[in-house]
Structures are given as structure tokens and as C-alpha cells.
Homo-oligomer: A and B are copies of this chain.
Amino acid sequence: MVSIKDIARKAGVSISTVSYALNGNPKVTPETSARIRAIAKEMNYIPNGAARQLKKRESRIIGAFLTDFTGAFYGDLLQGMKEVLNRKGYDLIVCSGLQSHRLLPERMIDGAIILDSAFSDEELLDYADRGHRLVVLDRELNHPAVNQVLLDNKAGANLAMDYLIETGHRRLYIVAGPSDSFDARQRMGAVRQTLDRHPELEATVLEGDFNQGSGEAAGRLILEQWQGPAGVFCLNDEMAIGLFNAVSASDSGIRVGEELSLVGFDNIALTRYIQPRLATIEYSKYRWGAMASEQLLRMIAGEEVEHERIYVSLVESGSVKDRR
């Protein structure tokens, strides 16, 4: 491995001169600088990251922590993070799993974006206390070193519920999400508020875990105890797709967009592949990721930042029938 020491020897100068030349310090004359650069290139020199990091106390690497790697879901989100970071000379690495948590306290990364329920609040607060900068996308956490960029889940759930109610649905089913998901809890909270305001509605809450399987199960359950036209709000699109499949595959004759109206949440790519297209709650995942990166870089730069919110909107579609 070739180091600045080797270059210094070959160039007949000291290592500090090499360091200056390579880092563009104007103290060194253009001639020596050029000569040193030429030699460095010729020797295929590449600086050692660990050494520089040890000295400069920064790696210019940001870590994004996800619960798992599955899913079309994360593509745009990560792309948004990456583009902002790259523009500022930072790199993004994506991590998953308990083992990788070490990267943060060991200071291999300059900050982290968290969308991973495998982190406990305590763990994150501990890191924050150590001076690490964090942006959380999946929880509320108040600490000067932690910034929140959260989805406006309540507004989304309200949009979905109002859509079903305003199109004349009185019998409703809600397919819930896992209790360890912040988004699921927030969406469910808004649903319950809406239901409280509308005692005339006949509503049933079914369990769900944000995966397709639970949507299918919910779909079968609804068909079994079918009592006539109904509206279903699945707290995410995955489950809505599962429910759609279960209903379509049944021999009940009941069809989504006719007797059964269906709304999801997230606007994943799959929503376009079912007939009729799935009504859902939409937001820019790219923007979510980009915002997270921006906030993190601001914190690293020492700026004060406020929590941010990602706004959502309703995508109307044929999966909801107007019964008025």
C-alpha cells in the first residue's frame, strides 16, 4: 500500500509538503505541487480512509437504517437521500439488522437516518447523548441532536376515511397495522377520532401487520360475514393489494369498486397493476428522503432545525364506488 510517506521519499520532500500539495494548500509552490501530484498519480496513490477519518473526526458517510431490504417501497426514498447527500460531498450507505448499529457509536458514519423499529428510543437517545446526529422517520423523539421528518399520517387517514364517508359508505372495515409501527399507530388514532365523530357508522376493525397475507385474511373474513355493500380502509397498500386478491379470487361475486370499496395508503407502484386502480394516499417518497438528508446535513453543520412534516394527498380511483 502506497502512502504519502512513499510519495515524499520519491519526490525528495517531506510528508507534510505532500499532504499540503494533495490537499491543495496554497502554501506550496505550483511547481512542487504539480510534481507531487504527478508522482502520486503515477504511484496510484489513494488516501487511506481510516487514517483521515481518525484525524479529521469525520467520514463524510451517512447511514440509512432500514428494518429490511425488501420492497419497492424504499427505492425512491433512498434515491432522495442519496442525491442530496452526494451533492454536498457525502456518501450514503444503507444498513439493516442489529449488528450494523455499531457503525454509529463507532463513528464510522457522521450521522444516521432511522426508519427501523429495531432501534429502541433509548438506544437512539443514547447515541444522541454521545453527540451523534440523527434524523428519525418513524417516531417522535425529542432531543437537540435528533430531528423528526414524519409523514402526515393523520391527515392521510382523515382523507381516506372522509372519502369513504362522503361517497356514501355507512358500513366500514378498517384493516389495522402492527403496533410497533409509528405510522400504523398514528393512522389508527386518526381513524378512531373520525369514528367517534360519526356514531352513525357501523365500523369493524380487523387486525393487520402491513403485509399482504394479513390483507388477504381480512378480505376472507369480510366475505364470510358479508352483510352488503361496505367500504374498506387498509392502513397500507400492501394489505389492500392482499385484500383485493382475496376478494378477486373468491367465488362470492363481490367485486372491488362495486359492492366493496377499497382505499389504501402509500401509493406504492403495485397500486397501478390492479383493475380498477387502487385509491390510496400519496406522498413523495423522494422528497421524504431528500428532506431527511437536508435536515441531517444542517444539524451536522451546526444549524438549528425544526421538525419537518411530509404532506400527503388523496388519489381517487375506481376502487371506491360512489354510492350517493
Contact = CB atoms under 8 A, between A and B. Distances in A.
Interface of A: 1, 44, 46-51, 53-54, 59, 61, 63, 68-72, 74-76, 78-79, 82, 86, 91-97, 99-100, 102-103, 105-108, 126, 130-131, 241, 245, 270, 273-274
A50 B270 contact: no
Contact of A79 (B1, B69, B95): B69
B70 A72 contact: yes
Given A69-B78, A93-B95, A273-B273, 14 more contacts: A1-B131, A46-B105, A47-B106, A49-B50, A49-B106, A61-B103, A63-B93, A69-B75, A69-B82, A70-B72, A91-B95, A92-B95, A92-B97, A92-B100
A94 B93 contact: yes
Contacts of A50: 49-51, 53-54, 59, 107-108
A25 to B, nearest CB: 20
A48 B103 CA distance: 10
Contacts of A71: 72, 75
Given A46-B106, A108-B49, A79 B74 contact: no
A129 to B, nearest CB: 9
B107 A48 contact: yes
Nearest to A79: B69
A75 B241 CA distance: 19
A50 to B, nearest CB: 4
B103 A91 contact: yes
Given A70-B72, A75-B70, A108-B49, A44 B130 contact: yes
Contacts of A76: 70
Contacts of A131: 1
Nearest to A93: B93
27 contacts: A1-B130, A44-B126, A46-B130, A48-B107, A49-B106, A49-B108, A50-B53, A50-B107, A61-B103, A69-B78, A69-B79, A69-B82, A70-B76, A71-B72, A72-B72, A78-B96, A82-B96, A86-B97, A86-B99, A91-B95, A91-B97, A92-B95, A92-B96, A93-B95, A108-B108, A270-B270, A273-B274
